[in-house]
Chains A and B, each alone.
Chain A
Amino acid sequence: KAGVTQTPRYLIKTRGQQVTLSCSPISGHRSVSWYQQTPGQGLQFLFEYFSETQRNKGNFPGRFSGRQFSNSRSEMNVSTLELGDSALYLCASKGWGFTNTGELFFGEGSRLTVL
């Protein structure tokens, strides 16, 4: 069974640009969450999507957005990049349908460097 796939794995952008990251969840999983990981702040929740609907959102500015498609694939977008957006962006999928329990399975992440 294939795991969570994230693309691209590495990317370098400059301040002011925008970036789109993609995530394909485990087959059959309908929930996709996004996290930002930095050495100082650790893993911080960005948002969660289920059946193309954003169910929950973390405390990030509106420059961070996401969406989910009918095949459960998800994208997140960061506009007007800032140096502080340099981080590892992790996507995670969850099975068990529309419940409040269950394990998250992470992809390998997209490492974004903003210059």
Chain B
Amino acid sequence: QKEVEQNSGPLSVPEGAIASLNCTYSDRVSQSFFWYRQYSGKSPELIMSIYSNGDKEDGRFTAQLNKASQYVSLLIRDSQPSDSATYLCAVNMNGGSNYKLTFGKGTLLTVNP
């Protein structure tokens, strides 16, 4: 069973701090990796995608990928109360032309003012 694992949290950080969210995946052939943010009662919203090893930065968000360790993380700098949400890690673990994202169960982040 191909899996994506995340700490469920809740992860609580003070406003202005760095929030670090982690994700591991089971399938070595995975090619693409995504972080989605889901506010309570809303649908998931894509915030970062990463396809190759290393870091990718977009504003206050940095995604890190280490395929050898089968590990992907999301750092949120200068955390704001508006960042409080569930963060979902998603991995495309299918090869070939099939497309299926496998999601972790999400980490609930709370940013305290």
Contact = CB atoms under 8 A, between A and B. Distances in A.
Interface of A: 31, 33, 35, 41-45, 48, 50, 55-56, 58, 90, 94, 98-109
Contacts of B104: 42
A44 B3 CA distance: 11
A43 B101 CA distance: 10
7 contacts: A33-B101, A42-B104, A50-B99, A55-B99, A58-B100, A100-B97, A106-B43
Given A41-B105, A42-B105, A48-B99, 12 more contacts: A43-B103, A45-B101, A55-B99, A56-B94, A56-B99, A90-B44, A100-B32, A101-B92, A104-B46, A106-B45, A107-B43, A109-B43
Interface residues of B, number: 27
B102 interface: yes
A106 B44 contact: yes
Nearest to B103: A43
A31 B94 CA distance: 15
Given A56-B94, A90-B43, A101 B31 contact: yes
A108 B20 CA distance: 27
A42 B8 CA distance: 11
A35 B101 CA distance: 10
A33 B90 CA distance: 14
Interface in B47-84: 49, 51
A107 B44 CA distance: 8
B44 A103 contact: no
**5 tightest A-B CB contacts, nearest first:** A42-B105, A43-B103, A106-B43, A56-B98, A101-B32
A61 B45 CA distance: 28
